[in-house]
């Protein structure tokens, strides 16, 4: 991929950043098996139709099929799970900007336009069709005639959904996250003690020993392998070692005793297990190494592989073992209902078939759909389109706030005012430092930009983790779980580091972030953020259009959340200050050290620049008495029958520190709930 950085002549400004709408990418030749694209059989009937194959949809589809039911899993994208950009853990930023799978949303974070435009990542489209941002050139102006697009929010339209581009981090929700759902709904099956079984069912832990010691906390035979970055990688690179030692020292805790401040002490910190079921896991401030979803070849894995293994399983005579069909390039346009009874009943979905149909896909629009049709569900339709698309699909189907549907001429099936509201996200904010020399780990890595990439070759050929080298990690080896002064009983900050200049998303960010190989980003993620003011709204009744998405950052609980972010940045600043320079020190480059230092300046920086990538909660589970609840505790859409939602939009509050693993856990629970209902009405 080549991104052009162009000097733009604008009032009083120097350099800014432009990138092509569809970026040039060095597409290596295809890399083996991909699931063939197949359209649905128009008019066909399955017991279950699942819309969306991401973290929510795929495990559920696999479980229902394994239990003997007929299942149609529909996704609007293709399968690119065997492409190098997807497979290589270190390539995850590039996976999120990889043309064959990327869905680019442009979102807003503030209602106030002046505030919105203070974000240096705010993207404009130039008259030539390219994207333009100010970035570190804070006084630059967009070229004349440019139009506002918003802030890039990367998502994936592909088999596996965002689990084929995400950063592979696998961190379980807190106990309180689950117990709160149980308390709100009165459904004790959501309690943390009950939810643990689903994590153990799905995990295939490869970083701990099985047996008595860890059997209470972990699973060792599920579909999701979890592994750690080989610690040899960390000690090989003196810059990274020094950052880790400083991270441990800066915690200010004597937790490592006399080893504090030494390489051995730092490595000892990396033996702690972030997904333990231990009672102090949510409350102790500790540094942990981060488990990643990688298989024994240190290759990305996840629900895509699970659902494909079920769909392609055969009996000894070669016949298919399970009734699971996967159809791709198939955009569901609405759920259909039988409205002849007292309660509308979902009967199936309408779809259109073709490449790049959804307009989040930045590739030149195709000629439109090559086919369209209806498929039927004899039992249920389950919507798993993710936090942006699930509310869009429900609204397009007539399930949502009556006034909004009327404004777009959509016939009302059920007035559910909560659909598309309650949008939540984590806040993320960086402190970036630049070193005079490269990380030795990245010295010869080209991130597949050039015809040859020695780092890729090592990763591919190496038989042992130590020989596979730097691409066996996502670049984020550890995280410090910490309380801010405004937290509840559980810690609310995750502070980790990354070998990149990462300050959020804008078109071309992946190449920009890794260009130098010299920069380190301390990242603060705010867990349990308080703001629920965001929403997802229709821009038209055309299912190919993307919705209007506004997070309204900090509109609720803003002061507390900003204080927490400031404390995270202060930790990061002192971690740079206190660095023991085993291999040179770091000079802070972002935010600009000339202008951003005091708590008030850091706070304003967070208002201007904070981003997120765990959008969720737009079709929330809630109490029977709550008019804004979209789902009951069994994932059923209220007021209709035969329709459920199983994905990140079903959470009432954003869970834990990362969201994919909680969503897998939820999906496993949903399978149990749906199978129990099926057994009760055969
Ligand atoms: C850059 C980035 C990095 C991330 N890193 C991490 C991480 O390291 N750890 C972590 O825990 N989380 C991470 N996440 C978040 C996590 O991956 C997602 O929140 C999670 O995958 C959401 O699951 P989902 O099932 O709700 O939706 P998705 O995974 O988005 O799946 C939705 C699927 O539905 C399909 N779809 C949508 N609409 C339609 C339609 N109308 N018809 C047919 N198909 C449709 C889409 O094509 C897509 O495949 C990251 C997210 C981003 C953006
Ligand atoms: C912005 O960052 C780039 C890359 O680090 C640097 O070359 C450039 O000088 C910076 N521009 C300004 C205005 O600080
Ligand atoms: C946007 O969506 C929210 C949540 O569904 C809803 O409350 C609000 O009325 C919608 N706004 C418009 C303008 O339709
Ligand atoms: C990272 O640091 C290097 C070395 O100072 C620099 O050349 C490069 O431009 C930086 N990257 C970015 C994105 O600023």
Structural domain boundaries, residue 579: 226-297+426-532+546-609
For residue 373, the tally of other CB atoms under 10 A from its CB is 17
Say if 477 falls within a structural domain: yes
Tell me, in angstroms, the distance from the centre of ligand 2 to residue 15's CA: 8
What residue's CA is closest to ligand 1, atom 21?
162
pLDDT value of position 258: 46
Does this model's pTM top 0.85? yes
185 vs 103: CA distance, rounded Å = 34
- Tell me, yes or no, whether 60 lies in a domain: no
pLDDT at 7 over 70: no
Distance 666 CA to ligand 1 centre (A): 14
124 has which bridge partners? Answer: 132, 148
Identify whether the C-beta of residue 361 lies closer than 8 Å to the C-beta of residue 350. no
In degrees and rounded to multiples of 5, residue 379 shows phi and psi of -110, -65
Ligand 1 centroid to Cα of residue 116, in Å, is: 25
Average pLDDT of the chain is 93
Pick from 407, 656, 661: which is nearest to 529 by CA?
A: 656
Q: Is the CB of 516 under 6 A from ligand 4?
A: yes
Asked whether residue 510 is assigned to any structural domain, the reply reads yes
Residue 367 pLDDT > 90: no
Question: H or E stretch including 406?
Answer: helix 402-407
Is residue 312 pLDDT above 80, yes or no? yes
pLDDT of 508: 94
Pocket of ligand 4 contains residue 137 by CB under 6 Å: no
Strand order in the sheet with 427-434: 286-289, 478-482, 493-498, 519-526, 427-434, 587-590
Q: Which of 581, 570, 535 is closest to 555 using CA atoms?
A: 535
User: Ligand 4 pocket: which of 516, 586, 588 to mutate (most atoms <8 Å of CB)?
Assistant: 516
Q: Cβ distance 225 to 473 under 8 Å?
A: no
pLDDT at 15: 54
Using the atom order of ligand 4, give the atom closest to the CA of residue 501. 13
Residues 585 and 436: their CA atoms lie apart, in Å, by 8
* ∠ CA 478-483-484, rounded to 5°: 115
CA 468, 473, 476 angle in degrees (round to 5)?
155
Query: CB atoms < 10 A from the CB of 342, how many?
Result: 7
Tell me what pLDDT residue 479 has.
92
SS3 for 349-362, per residue?
A: EEEEECCCCCCCCC
Round to whole Å and give the CA distance between 320 and 312.
7
> Residue 595 has what DSSP assignment?
T
Of the two residues 520 and 247, the one the predictor is more confident about is: 520
pLDDT tier at 69 (50, 70, 90 boundaries)? very high
Residues 6+ apart with CB under 8 A from 252: none
Is the beta carbon of 417 within 6 A of some atom in ligand 4?
no
Q: Tell me the CA–centroid distance for residue 136 and ligand 2, in Å.
A: 6
pLDDT of residue 30: 73
Distance 433 CA to ligand 4 centre (A): 9
| Count of domains forming the chain | 1
The answer to which of 25-39, 204-218, 331-345, 515-529 has the lowest mean pLDDT is 25-39
Ligand 3 center–CA 243 separation, angstroms: 45
Rounded distance between C-alpha atoms, residue 265 and residue 269, angstroms: 6
**Is 81 inside a domain boundary?**
no
Residue 343 lies in a domain: no
Task: Work out the percent of the chain whose per-residue pLDDT is above 70.
Answer: 95
The answer to whether the bond into 591 is cis (omega within 30° of 0) is yes
The residue to mutate among 137, 139, 517, having the most atoms of ligand 2 within 8 angstroms of its beta carbon, is 137
Q: What percent of the chain has pLDDT over 90?
A: 80
Q: What number is the average pLDDT over the span 315-337?
A: 98
Q: Using an 8 Å Cβ cutoff, are 157 and 361 in contact?
A: yes
Measured from the Cα of 501, ligand 2's closest atom is 5
Model confidence over 149-158: pLDDT tens digits?
999 999 999 9
Give SS3 for 86. helix
| Closest-lying ligand 4 atom to the alpha carbon of residue 434 | 2
Would the pLDDT of 532 be above 50?
yes
Quick one: pLDDT at residue 253?
57
Nearest CA to ligand 4 atom 1: 516
Buried (b) or exposed (e) across 48-79, using 16+ Cβ within 10 A?
A: bbbbbbbbbbbbbbbbbbbeebbbbbbbbbbb
Q: Are 145 and 127 in contact (CB under 8 A)?
A: yes
Q: What is the mean pLDDT of residues 74-101?
A: 96
- Between 236 and 276, where is the model more confident? 276
Q: Model confidence over 111-153: pLDDT tens digits?
A: 999 999 999 999 999 999 999 999 988 889 999 999 999 999 9
Examine residue 652 and state whether it is found in any structural domain, yes or no. Answer: no
Tell me what the mean pLDDT of segment 22-45 comes to: 87
Give the nearest ligand 1 atom to 333 CA. Answer: 41
What's the CA-to-centroid distance between 619 and ligand 3, angstroms?
Answer: 13
Point out the ligand nearest to the CA of residue 432: 4
Q: For 150-186, what is each residue's pLDDT tens digit? A: 999 999 999 999 999 999 999 999 999 999 999 999 9
CB environment 630-666: b (16+ within 10 A), e (fewer): bbbbbbbbbebebbbbbbbbbbbbbbbbbbbbbbbbb
* Inter-CA distances, 668 with 60, 197, 226, 460, 672, Å: 6, 9, 17, 32, 7
Contact residues for 315 (Cβ-Cβ < 8 A; gap 6+): 321
Query: Rounded to whole angstroms, how far apart are CA atoms 582 and 585?
Result: 8
Q: State the average pLDDT over residues 72-91.
A: 96
Tokens of 493: 């900050």
Residues within a 6 A CB radius of ligand 3: 401, 404, 419-421, 535, 537
Rounded Cα–Cα distance for residues 471 and 465 (Å): 10
Instruction: Evaluate if residue 257 carries a pLDDT over 70.
Output: no
Give the pLDDT confidence score for residue 252 in this predicted structure: 67
Supply the CATH number for residue 454's domain.
3.30.410.40
Per-residue pLDDT at 308 exceeds 70? yes
Asked if residue 107 is part of any domain, the answer here is no
**Is residue 536 part of an annotated ligand binding site?**
no
**Is 461 among the domain residues?**
yes
Phi, psi of 554 (to 5 degrees): 65, 10
Residue minimizing CA distance to atom 1 of ligand 3:
537
408-437: average pLDDT: 97
What is the reported pLDDT for 10? Answer: 35
Secondary structure (DSSP) of 132-153: EE-TT-TT--PPTT-EEEEEEE
**Which of 258-262, 470-474, 527-531 is predicted with the least confidence, judged by mean pLDDT?**
258-262
Q: Which atom of ligand 4 is nearest to the CA of 518?
A: 2
Q: How confident is the model at residue 372 (pLDDT cuts 50, 70, 90)?
A: very high
22 CA to centre of ligand 2 in angstroms: 24
Buried b (16+ CB within 10 A) or exposed e, 83-117: bbbbbbbbbbbbbbbbbbbbbbbbbbbbeeeeebe
Pocket (CB within 6 angstroms of ligand 2): 14-15, 136-137
- Whole-number Å distance, alpha carbon 537 to ligand 3 midpoint, is 6
Nearest ligand 2 atom to alpha carbon 137? 13
Number of the ligand 4 atom closest to the C-alpha atom of 590: 14
């Amino acid at each position: 991929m080549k991104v052009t950085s162009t000097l733009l002549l604008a009032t009083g400004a120097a350099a800014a950043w432009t990138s092509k709408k569809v970026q040039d990418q060095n597409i290596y030749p295809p890399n083996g098996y991909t699931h063939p694209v197949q359209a649905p059989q128009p008019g066909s009937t399955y017991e279950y139709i699942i819309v969306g194959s991401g973290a929510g949809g795929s495990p559920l589809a696999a479980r229902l099929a394994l239990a003997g039911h007929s299942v149609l899993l529909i996704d609007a994208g293709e399968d690119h799970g065997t492409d190098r950009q997807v497979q290589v853990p270190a390539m995850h930023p590039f996976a999120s900007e990889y043309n064959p799978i990327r869905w680019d949303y442009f979102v807003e974070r503030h209602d106030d336009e002046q505030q919105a435009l203070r974000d240096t990542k705010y993207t404009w489209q130039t008259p030539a069709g390219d994207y333009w941002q100010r970035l570190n050139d804070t006084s630059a102006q967009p070229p004349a005639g440019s139009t506002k697009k918003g802030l890039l929010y990367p998502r994936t339209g592909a088999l596996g959904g965002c689990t084929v581009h995400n950063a592979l981090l696998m961190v379980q929700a807190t106990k309180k996250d689950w117990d709160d759902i149980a308390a709100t709904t009165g459904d004790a099956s959501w309690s943390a003690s009950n939810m643990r079984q689903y994590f153990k069912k799905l995990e295939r832990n490869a970083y701990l020993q099985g047996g008595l010691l860890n059997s209470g906390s972990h699973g060792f035979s599920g579909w999701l392998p979890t592994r750690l970055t080989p610690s040899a990688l960390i000690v090989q690179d003196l810059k990274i070692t020094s950052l880790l030692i400083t991270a441990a020292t800066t915690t200010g805790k004597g937790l490592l005793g006399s080893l504090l401040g030494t390489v051995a002490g730092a490595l000892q910190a990396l033996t702690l297990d972030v997904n333990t079921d231990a009672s102090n896991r949510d409350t102790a401030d500790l540094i942990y190494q981060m488990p990643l979803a990688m298989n024994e070849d240190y290759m990305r894995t996840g629900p895509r592989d699970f659902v494909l293994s079920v769909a392609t399983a055969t009996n000894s005579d070669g016949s298919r073992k399970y009734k699971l069909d996967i159809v791709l390039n198939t955009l569901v346009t609405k759920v259909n209902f039988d409205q002849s009874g007292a309660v509308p009943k979902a009967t199936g979905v309408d779809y259109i078939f073709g490449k790049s149909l959804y307009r989040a896909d930045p590739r030149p629009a195709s000629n439109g759909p090559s086919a369209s049709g209806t498929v039927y569900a004899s039992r249920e339709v389950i919507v798993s389109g993710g936090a942006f698309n699930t509310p869009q699909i429900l609204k397009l189907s007539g399930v949502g706030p009556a006034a909004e549907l009327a404004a777009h001429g959509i016939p009302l099936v059920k007035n559910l005012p909560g659909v598309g509201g309650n949008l939540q996200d984590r806040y993320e904010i960086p402190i970036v430092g630049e070193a005079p020399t490269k990380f030795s780990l990245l010295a010869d890595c080209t991130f597949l930009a050039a015809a040859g990439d020695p780092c890729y070759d090592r990763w591919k050929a190496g038989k042992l983790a130590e020989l596979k080298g730097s691409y066996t990690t996502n670049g984020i080896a550890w995280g410090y779980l910490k309380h801010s002064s405004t937290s509840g009983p559980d810690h609310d900050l995750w502070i980790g580091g990354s070998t990149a200049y990462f300050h959020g998303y804008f078109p071309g960010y992946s190449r920009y972030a890794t260009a130098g190989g010299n920069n380190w980003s301390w990242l603060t993620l705010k867990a349990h953020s308080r703001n629920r003011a965001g929403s997802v709204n229709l821009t038209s009744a055309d299912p190919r259009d993307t919705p209007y998405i506004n997070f309204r950052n900090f509109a609720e609980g803003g002061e507390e959340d900003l204080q927490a972010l400031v404390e995270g940045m202060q930790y990061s600043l002192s971690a740079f200050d206190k660095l023991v320079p085993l291999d040179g020190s770091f000079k802070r480059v972002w935010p600009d050290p000339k202008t951003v230092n005091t708590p008030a300046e850091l706070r304003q920086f967070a208002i201007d620049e904070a981003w997120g990538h765990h959008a969720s909660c737009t079709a929330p589970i809630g109490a029977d008495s709550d008019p804004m609840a979209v789902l009951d505790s069994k994932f059923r859409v209220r007021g209709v029958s035969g329709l459920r939602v199983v994905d990140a939009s079903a959470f009432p509050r954003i869970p834990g520190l990362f969201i994919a693993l909680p969503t897998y856990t939820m999906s496993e629970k949903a399978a149990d709930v749906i199978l129990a209902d099926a057994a009760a009405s055969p």
